[in-house]
Each structure stands twice: as structure tokens, then as C-alpha cells.
Amino acid sequence: TPTVRQLLAPGTPSSPNSIQVNGWVKSVRRQKRVAFAVITDGSSTEGLQAVFTDVALANDLAKGCAVRLTGVLADSIGPGQAKELQVQAVDVVGECNPEEYPVNKREMTVEYLRDHCHLRTRTDEMAAVMRLRDSMTRTMQDYFTNLGFTYAHTPLVVSNDCEDAGETFRVLAPSEGISASPAKEASPSPATERDDEKHPEHFFGRPAYLTVSSQLHLEALATSLSRVYTISPCFRAERSQTGRHLSEFWMLEAEWAFTNKVDDVCQVVEGAVRQALLRGGTELKLLRETLPEERLAVFERASAAQPWTRITYTDAIRELEKIQSTSKIFNYGPVWGQPLRSEHERWIAEQIVQGPTFVTDYPVELKPFYMRLNDDGKTVACFDLLVPHLGELVGGSLREERMLYLRKALKRDQLDAASYDWYLDLRRYGGAPHGGFGLGFERLVSWITGVENVRECIPMPRWAGRMLL
Ligand code: 4AD
Ligand code: MG
């Protein structure tokens, strides 16, 4: 049985023979001598127009019911669609009471749909987001495949907190319970060969966490496969209730060996995001329908501009200070050594640059232990990619490949060198200069489509206080 997308594809011949189509009824319109219904199977933004010259055939149809239609695919004489199905037989395979159907309402707020997230991909917009995620994944896979990267599967249950931000979820086996002493949980036990003997109270022989980032594992793989990437779920127990944060989100991460310039990493990121920008498609068109002209202009400019602006953190702070001293527009004054606030990030991308901006070389105190120290001893070889209307889309860096500096960084951040011994091995044995980045997949979808909140860029969102199914 063909999908609706296949039937509507240009070039699909009309056929005198009967075909069958499966789908759900989106709408029904009854006239005296003819009835119409739009059928969707989620394969395309457009539904298939079904025409019933035998009006009685449409009697049992209502929005939401699942049907199998038999009919003839013909060129449509009416306006609005190229093809229509002239229906000969109807089989209602799943009824749906339109009075009770939760997504049969005229006004459905974003909140209402979140409360019904098991049903909300039935709306045109959410279905479009789902298809866009699918094709975006392929766009990214093609991009990295062409650059010679290997797609790798990294673990979700891990022994470390990659970002050392204290936002990891613990994983407990039934036997572990919650009685394990918090003091013991605070720092992972040293990696030894027989942890299970030392710590039988832990299922894995040590505390286990859900991954916040695949980076450290990708670094390990990059020491053998040179260029690796993954698209993986990440979990963060952060309480930020913003339109950019989820507790469970997907990250595209890439890591490669034999790079020693931050700019190389920026170039790969720029190429990937540009591919996403150039995708097009009916899903994007539908989702961008209500976007103001100025937002669309940003995409136009970003697609054309090459390369995107690079500015150091130090220069960015200087620019922000200038603005603050003359116009006091920020709630928080920019201060060297402090994180950029989201109002600062947006100002840089929206006002100073008016396009995607790589802010590079942040102060060492603001960034995790693994970033490579610059010669100034104060900043690290890293970047955040900031984009208009969203803020941070990507973070990346060169990784510290020098044993001495890495040990110092672990000490500075009070991390237990013994638990990172495997990570030090990557430097001990053939450690090559390397770097990589992580891109929030929902944030990419949100930025590209203009869908305001990442909660609408993933089918079943999770955030602090919310996990419906
Ligand atoms: O900046 P982050 O925390 O960087 C890392 O985790 C690095 N280890 C990545 C790497 O270099 N391999 O996260 C990277 C990106 C952010 O820029 C943001 O787009 C997204 O992941 N992100 C989130 N997206 C949704 N919800 C959250 N809670 C997110 N936290 C980060
Ligand atoms: Mg970051």
C-alpha cells in the first residue's frame, strides 16, 4: 500500500485500477451530491483529498477515525490539489468519537498539547517537526559521512560527569536502593579492575549515572578511528525552566584527532549548521509560515555569509561593556571572568553581529577541565556558537592533550585523577591533538523552524516536574 506522500509525489501516474490507502480522517465535508474527506497518514504535510460521489460511503467518517479506502487515483479537477482519490469502498478500521476526541478542538494551546503529548503528533505542526527531525538526522549523517567520520554508539550509563556541573542523574539497581551514603555517592570510586569486589553495594561496582555528554567516550574512540560522531540522548538534572532546556535531549557530537586549531572545529560546525539551513522542504515551510520577515532574513544571510563571525570572549566583553556604559540596557553588567548571560549572548548575535557568531577563548575558570589551555594561561581554546533569537546552539573546544596540563586541570577542579585514569591513558599512548563539539539537536530544530520552545521540538519532552509518559 502506498503512502500518501508517494501518491502525491509529482510524477505518480493516475491509475484506472483501484488502489488502497490507509490513514486517518483529518476533516470531512458533506454536500448534497458529493462528500469530501482529507486523509493523512503522517507521511507528508499535505493530506490526500478523498471524493465520495456515493455520499452514503462517507456516513461513518469522523475526524480521527482510522480508515482503509479503496478507490481510483485521478487528476483533481478542483483547486488546491493535483490528485484525488475517487472512493469506491470505505473500511473504518478504528472509530473515533469526535465529541470526545481530545485533539478535535478549535483552540489548542501549546500547554494543552503538552498535556496530551501522546496525541499531539497528530497535529500538522508536530507531525512536521517529527519528519523534520528525521530528515535533519540524515542531513547530518550525510555531512559527517562525506567528511570521513564514523558514526559511533556511545554508552548512556556512565561512570563520570563529563561536564562536572553536578547535573547527572544517578542510576540505581533494585539492590542499591537509596540507602547508599550520599558521601560515597558524591565522588565516583577510583577505577580499579575489581570494583565489584570492593563495592558490591553498587550494581556496576561503582556509582552509575546517565550520560550528560558522549564527549569523553568519543575522545577514546577518536584515538583509534580518528573521526567519530554520534547523535545520542543526554540527560541533565538541571532546574532551568527555559525554552532552551530539557532534562532529556539529543546531542550531535563529533570528535576528531589531528586538529590543533579552534578555527578548524568552527569550520566543521559551520558546515554542519549550514547544511541544516539549506535543507528546505515542505515541513520547514509549514513551520516557518508565521515567522516575521526579520527572522527569515537571518537565515538568508547566514546561508550566504562565509565564514561566520568569530570574536573572542575578551573582545565580546569589551563590546558589551561599551554598550552598558552608554545605555545600561543589560540587567547584569558584563564582567570579564563571569559567564555571558543569555541577554549578553543574544545581544552579540542579534545586534553586534546580526548572525551566527563564534565566541572563542573563554576564561579557563568558566569551562570544564578537558579544554586546552591557551598560551596566555588564562583562557582556553574553545568556542560557543551563538545564534540570533536562541543563544547558545553549539559548544566545542580543543581538548587538553598534554598530560601535565590535564593533571593540573583535574586538580584545579578537584576531580579525582584515579577515576580519570582511562582518560589519561588516551594521552599516555599516542595522544594526538584533537577537538570536537556538541550541538543540541532540539535547539537546532527550534532555531531553524522558529518553533519557540525546545519542548515542542521533541515528541515527549521531559523537564523538572514533568514526565507524562
Ligand atoms: O555546552 P554543553 O554542555 O557542552 C558539552 O556537553 C560538551 N561536552 C559537548 C562537546 O564538546 N562534545 O552542551 C552542548 C550543547 C549546547 O550548546 C546546547 O545546544 C545543548 O547541548 N544543550 C541542551 N539542549 C537542551 N537541553 C539542555 N538541558 C541542554 N544542555 C545543553
Ligand atoms: Mg555550553
pLDDT in tens, 304-330: 988 999 999 999 999 999 999 999 999
- From the CA of 370, the nearest ligand is 1
Whole-number pLDDT of residue 194: 60
pLDDT average, residue stretch 454-462 = 98
pLDDT at 428 over 90: yes
- Residue owning grid cell 520552545: 453
pLDDT average, residue stretch 390-411 = 97
Ligand 1, atom 2, residue with closest C-alpha: 395
- From the CA of 394, the nearest ligand is 1
pLDDT at 184 over 70: no
* Distance from the alpha carbon of residue 290 to the mean position of ligand 1, in angstroms: 28
Answer left, alpha or beta for residue 236, where phi above 0 means left and psi between -120 and 50 means alpha. beta
Ligand 1, atom 19, residue with closest C-alpha: 440
Domain with CATH 3.30.930.10 in the chain: 124-168+212-456
Domain with CATH 2.40.50.140 in the chain: 4-94
- Report the topology of domain 124-168+212-456: BirA Bifunctional Protein; domain 2 (3.30.930)
Whole-number pLDDT of residue 183: 45
Distance CA 422, CA 327 (A): 51
Residues touching ligand 1 (Cβ under 6 Å) are 162-163, 213, 215, 236, 238, 245-246, 249, 251, 253, 392-396, 436-440, 442-443, 454
* Distance from the alpha carbon of residue 182 to the mean position of ligand 2, in angstroms: 28
Q: Which long-range contacts (CB under 8 A, 24 or more apart) does 239-242 make?
A: 239/464, 241/463, 241/464, 242/342
* Distance from the alpha carbon of residue 15 to the mean position of ligand 2, in angstroms: 55
pLDDT at 45 over 90: yes
pLDDT at 192 over 80: no
Distance CA 421, CA 399 (A): 16
Looking at residue 348, what DSSP letter applies?
I
Whole-number pLDDT of residue 305: 81
* Distance from the alpha carbon of residue 272 to the mean position of ligand 2, in angstroms: 18
Tell me what the pLDDT averaged over the chain comes to.
94
- From the CA of 242, the nearest ligand is 1
- Report the topology of domain 4-94: OB fold (Dihydrolipoamide Acetyltransferase, E2P) (2.40.50)
pLDDT at 218 over 90: yes
* Distance from the alpha carbon of residue 261 to the mean position of ligand 2, in angstroms: 19
Whole-number pLDDT of residue 81: 86
Task: Report whether 449 contacts 387 (CB < 8 A).
Answer: no
Q: Which ligand 1 atom is the nearest neighbour of the CA of 444?
A: 19
The model's confidence at residue 182, banded by pLDDT at 50, 70 and 90, is very low
pLDDT average, residue stretch 9-13 = 90
Distance CA 243, CA 240 (A): 9
The model's confidence at residue 84, banded by pLDDT at 50, 70 and 90, is very high
The model's confidence at residue 198, banded by pLDDT at 50, 70 and 90, is confident
Name 39's Cβ contacts closer than 8 Å, sequence gap at least 6. Answer: 4, 21, 23, 24, 25, 26, 47, 48, 49, 50, 67, 69, 85
* Distance from the alpha carbon of residue 189 to the mean position of ligand 2, in angstroms: 27
**Cis peptide preceding 307, ω within 30 of 0:** yes
